[in-house]
Amino acid sequence: MQQVRLFIFVIIATLLIASVFGIIHDQITYTISNEYYTKFKFIQFGLIPKGMELQMPHRIAALIVGIKATWWTGIPIGLMYGSILFPLKYNPLLYRMYFKTIGLTFAITILTSIAGYLYWKFNLQYTEVNWYLPENLIDKNSFICVGSIHNFSYLGGVIGLMAGSLYLVLQKERLKESKQNFKIP
């Protein structure tokens, strides 16, 4: 029963952590390019019909976009980590192992987001992109910067999931070999 609680905890916690990441990420990128949101994301996420005005403060709308864009990433990440932890004999230290793993995952995602910024800074701002660019952009360069950061952040989530899964599997094997209180049933 405790393993089931741990599994459910991992999924719910990962959904919440992914949502918080999305909120912070989108508040930062909104600062870089509000047009990325007002002319693209707010429309994409159904907060305003195209061509109409937003009926809420932009920062609140960016917060909503951040949650909608990232909460779902907690599902595959949480399912993967929960599945790796589930067969271990229950020990409260498994929660600590989970938090180390999710910290690793989001650290990689943050670093990859920064790599997206650097990719824009040293490459994309000097080339033409083959992306959707709304008409009447005032600051096309900043829009592309935020697009690069966003694209890289999703890549970072995938890389973080792979690294976190590998970390958990290695920890699981280490615990199995050391025959501590963690035993595979």
- Interatomic CA distance for residues 136 and 72, integer angstroms: 32
- Interatomic CA distance for residues 153 and 77, integer angstroms: 14
Q: What is the pLDDT of residue 53?
A: 82
Look at residues 2, 17, 18 and name the one whose alpha carbon lies nearest to residue 93.
2
When pLDDT is averaged across residues 59-76 and rounded to a whole number, the result is 97
Kind and range of the H or E run holding 14 = helix 2-32
Burial of 184 per CB tally in 10 Å (0-12, 13-18, 19+): exposed
Q: What is the pLDDT of residue 184?
A: 42
Both tokens of residue 158? 């995938």
**Contact in structure between 65 and 42 (CB atoms under 8 Å):** yes
Round the average pLDDT of the chain to a whole number and report it: 93
**Contact in structure between 113 and 152 (CB atoms under 8 Å):** yes
Instruction: Say if residue 49's pLDDT is above 60.
Output: yes
When pLDDT is averaged across residues 103-113 and rounded to a whole number, the result is 98
When pLDDT is averaged across residues 148-164 and rounded to a whole number, the result is 97
- Interatomic CA distance for residues 136 and 145, integer angstroms: 17
Burial of 152 per CB tally in 10 Å (0-12, 13-18, 19+): buried
Instruction: Say if residue 177's pLDDT is above 60.
Output: yes
- Interatomic CA distance for residues 107 and 100, integer angstroms: 10
Phi/psi at 176 (nearest 5 deg)? -60, -45
Cα distances (angstroms) measured from residue 119 to each of 96, 145, 147? 34, 9, 11
**Contact in structure between 107 and 62 (CB atoms under 8 Å):** no
Look at residues 17, 152, 177 and name the one whose alpha carbon lies nearest to residue 81.
17
- Interatomic CA distance for residues 117 and 20, integer angstroms: 20
When pLDDT is averaged across residues 22-51 and rounded to a whole number, the result is 93
